[in-house]
Amino acid sequence: MRYAILLLDAPYTSQAVHSALRFTRALLAKGHVVDGVFFYHDGVHNAARLAAPPQDEPHLVDAWAELAREHAVPLQVCIAAALRRGLLDEQEAARHGKQGCSVEPPFELTGLGQLVDLGLRCDRLITFGP
């Protein structure tokens, strides 16, 4: 089946991100297609490039990036929700006159229209939230 994941919670806050990661990995292991993971609401914090958890804890941001690189799963971040919360890629940082950026590939800033498209073209959209 063709799946999409919608993640609405920030990392290191609740179980939602761990569950979403494990569920996504389980789908891929079963041979399903994951057409994209969309980060919205507080979920945009999963794209924080500067996240630096203690070394003996799981690095959730890196875990998404690894998953994307291994399985070519697009990681789409709502641009409006991200900008409000200080999550800017290089292009947006330049546009807003900010030094440095807090989002980098494989995470990509995109519009909410992408969430609707993703949800409608997949067989299932599974939401993880607080």
Task: Single out the residue of 2, 41, 49, 59 in contact with other proteins (rule: CB under 8 A).
Answer: 41
Residues numbered 50 to 89 that lie near other proteins (CB under 8 A) are 80-81
Q: Confirm if 11 and 51 have CB atoms less than 8 A apart.
A: yes
Q: Does 128 bind other proteins (CB under 8 A)?
A: no
Backbone angles phi, psi at 67, to 5 degrees: -60, -40
Q: Of these residues, 47, 78, 115, 125, which one is catalytic?
A: 78
Nearer to other proteins, 100 or 113 (CB): 113
Judge whether 78 counts as a catalytic residue: yes
Q: 103, 42, 36, 104: which is closest to 75 by C-alpha?
A: 36
Q: What is the DSSP string of 20-69?
A: HHHHHHHHHHTT-EEEEEEE-GGGGGGG-TT----TTS--HHHHHHHHHH
Select the span of 16-24, 87-95, 99-107, 110-118 touching other proteins (CB under 8 A). 110-118
Q: Least separation, in Å, of the C-beta of 57 and other proteins?
A: 27
Catalytic residues: 78
Binding residues vs other proteins (CB under 8 A): 6, 40-41, 80-81, 111-113, 115-117, 119-120, 125, 127, 129
